[in-house]
Amino acid sequence: MISKGILIRLEVKSGKDDDVETFLRATNPMIQQEENTKAWFGIRFGKSEYGIVGMFESEEAREKLLSGSTANILTQQINTLFSEPPRVQRLDVLARKMPVTVPQQPDTKAILLTFKAKAGHTQEVERFLKDAEALAREEPDTTAWFAIRLDNDEYGIFDVFPDNGGRFKHLTGQIPRELAKNALSLLGSMPDMELPTVLEEKLVI
């Protein structure tokens, strides 16, 4: 069962966007061969802002990726492609939805939502996120969904969709409505929502 994850943010030098996208696409075949990586996404947040999201069943599997050949290649590109060193955040996966059959089309859109829990209410936030898994499983256009706790004590959701239509259905669906309904009792900060584009992905069925 997926329980660990990473979020790597990549700040790209001016004019190097195409090179970074080529790098992420070239990395995917290596990731496909890593049996311990259960899900992996190369994403674009915006101009000169990219990222990598990975999901694993154990701490050992996560560290293998962070110390393996893919990470070494990324390190070698720091001075060439990036304006600052990659920022790595370790994630705990509290709940998850993975596809049970091969998706009919690759995912192209994602959501990354992060927020602080209200002081003294972390248990309630974690229960909300775990309960939301059942709602995510009822969304046919949500390919994969992960409720996460970040290493800076923030919480969040990362999920992927085949197109804008699937993402819109999720944004107007029951999970956001329930979160908004419980915002005053659960949230210690305004949610930060980013809408990345998915460039490459791996999903183990």
Please give the pLDDT value at position 65.
Answer: 87
- Beta strand pairing call for 109-116 and 154-161: antiparallel
Please give the pLDDT value at position 185.
Answer: 92
CATH (domain of 189): 3.30.70.100
Confidence label for 72 from pLDDT (cuts 50, 70 and 90): confident
Rounded Cα distance between 153 and 172, Å, is 27
Over range 147-172, report the average pLDDT.
97
Please give the pLDDT value at position 118.
Answer: 95
Question: What percent of the chain is predicted at pLDDT more than 90?
Answer: 85
Burial class, 41, CB count within 10 angstroms (exposed 0-12 / middle 13-18 / buried 19+): buried
Could you tell me the pTM of the whole model? 0.96
* Structural domain harbouring 65: 4-203
Please give the pLDDT value at position 37.
Answer: 94
Please give the pLDDT value at position 42.
Answer: 97
Q: How many domains does the chain have?
A: 1
In the chain, the amino acid numbered 2 is I
Closest CA to 65 of 46, 42, 84, 40: 40
Neighbours of 63 (CB within 10 A): 16
Please give the pLDDT value at position 165.
Answer: 98
Over range 56-77, report the average pLDDT.
87
Structure tokens at 186: 């659960």
Convert the pLDDT of each residue in 93-106 to its tens digit: 999 999 999 898 99
Rounded Cα distance between 31 and 65, Å, is 9
